[in-house]
Structure 1
Amino acid sequence: ADGGAADALALDVADRSAVVEAIDAVAERLGRIDAVVNNAMWIRYGALEEMDEATVDRMLAVGLKAVVWMAQASLPHLRRTSGCIVNVSSPAAVRATAGAAIYSAVKGAVSSLTWQMSNELGAQGVRVNAVVPGAVPTEGARALVDDAGYELRRAHTPLGRLGTPEDLAGAVSFLVSEDAAFVNGHLLAVDGGLLVS
């Protein structure tokens, strides 16, 4: 509506060479990269003792290793624009969640990596922050959480409602904007108060 355009690019973010190729292609086509948002995750819930190696490996590959590959691939471009990276963590990083041991570990690592990256890359002029979303019933998330699960999440959210994609988009837009030019190493909770409940 504002005259912008969006292109979809399909790739496996767990594949380092595919990430490098995709980022370089985008930078060549657009002439620059100003911001990278690491929002990919592959989730399977279940008891810790039942998690098989393939499931754990895929969750780590998509949820954590991909953040590293995206940072490595985009850094040469982001340095030129004083750009920024926004990672996506989760309240599960600091709150016990039934059946989510591996997911929680991945998101805890993303939070820790965000702080480390903000220090290391901030010295290179690249800001790194993260958003920590509460429950947002997107199509993909609804494949894993039923109505009862979302009702439980809503009941534990002080604002009394679930989040929307627009709630998250607003937070990410802030973190990549000039209004956040001095914000680095921050985990911005966009959770309706869940973390303080």
Structure 2
Amino acid sequence: MSIWYLSTGKVTLITGASSGIGAGTSVLFAQLGAILALNGRDVENLKKMAKECADCGGGTEPLLVPGDLTDEDTVKRVVEEIITRFGRLDVLVNSAGILTIGGIEKSDLATFDRVMNINVRSVYHLTQVCVPHLIKTKGSIVNVSSVNGQRSSATALVYCMSKSAIDQFTRCVALELAPKQVRVNSVCPGTVFTEIHKRAGMDEEQYATFLKACNVCHPLGRAGEVDEVARSIAFLASDAASFITAVNLPIDGGRHAKAPTLLN
């Protein structure tokens, strides 16, 4: 495995590890020799991911710290269990998040609160609790944002707002922690093959139509793969990125640079 993604021995907490980008990142970090703590709300899926990580990571079992991170006590418990088991924390990957469909006319306040609590508030709180430990190890944080933090959508208002918040959170915290040698970056994926759109309510036909549109809106002509995002997370978390902080890195086939018209 390339030294550019070297993560051997780094104690790494990955949230949203039971599916999607979080799951793919967990497997890659296991292959790279990281010491894993995995969080997710789906305990059965989390156990499956732990077995997959152990199988490809030389038999080392990840520490499972399941739970809903919108609950403040759960956040504190998760971090306490990691420090009790491993004595330190080197990397935090904030991958947990949800997508909802709807604009100002169809997104009620309950939807707003749910998305912002999961996508923003829980990230804020977990990071806050992890920071003292990351300062001790001069560690790094990688947040999973989205191209929708930079590009607008008439049908995903609250999601776009939440990811814009994560982009700004990344930059602000990076500046604050830079004197303490803790790096903070984010990845901003375009459309990636996960279940997030179906969980937001798209049926198979709608999803197929959506993916065809992605071939147009992504200049590289396709949606992305989970592993393409995971590799970028691994790079930003690694010592190979030791002079990179406060970056919101697009992993989107060029979508962030494209004007919002089919003519460009």
Same-fold call, TM > 0.5? yes
Return the alpha-carbon distance in structure 1 between the equivalents of residues 103 and 96 of structure 2: 22
Residue 2 of structure 1 deviates from its aligned partner by: 4.2
The answer for the alignment partner of 2:227 in structure 1 is 166
The answer for the alignment partner of 2:79 in structure 1 is 23
The answer for the alignment partner of 1:56 in structure 2 is 112
Return the alpha-carbon distance in structure 1 between the equivalents of residues 113 and 186 of structure 2: 23
The answer for the alignment partner of 1:95 in structure 2 is 151
State percent identity of aligned pairs.
33
The reply on whether 1:65 has 2:126 as its aligned counterpart is no
Deviation string, structure 1 residues 77-129 (Cα, Å, up to 9, x no partner): 11111011111111111212131111111111110111100011112221100
RMSD: 1.4
The answer for the alignment partner of 2:161 in structure 1 is 105
1:1-197 matches, cutoff 5 A: 1-3=56-58, 4-144=60-200, 145=202, 146-197=207-258
Residue 141 of structure 1 deviates from its aligned partner by: 3.3
Return the alpha-carbon distance in structure 2 between the equivalents of residues 49 and 156 of structure 1: 25
Return the alpha-carbon distance in structure 2 between the equivalents of residues 12 and 22 of structure 1: 10
Give, as a single letter, the amino acid of the residue that structure 2 aligns with 1:180: A
Give, as a single letter, the amino acid of the residue that structure 1 aligns with 2:141: I
Deviation string, structure 1 residues 31-70 (Cα, Å, up to 9, x no partner): 2211111111122111212221211111110011111111
Q: For structure 2, which runs of at least 5 residues remain unmatched after alignment?
A: 1-55, 259-264
Q: For structure 1, which runs of at least 5 residues remain unmatched after alignment?
A: none
Return the alpha-carbon distance in structure 2 between the equivalents of residues 196 and 58 of structure 1: 30
Between 138-147 and 85-94, report the one with greater CA deviation: 138-147
Return the alpha-carbon distance in structure 2 between the equivalents of residues 69 and 172 of structure 1: 21
Give, as a single letter, the amino acid of the residue that structure 2 aligns with 1:87: N
Residue 5 of structure 1 deviates from its aligned partner by: 3.8
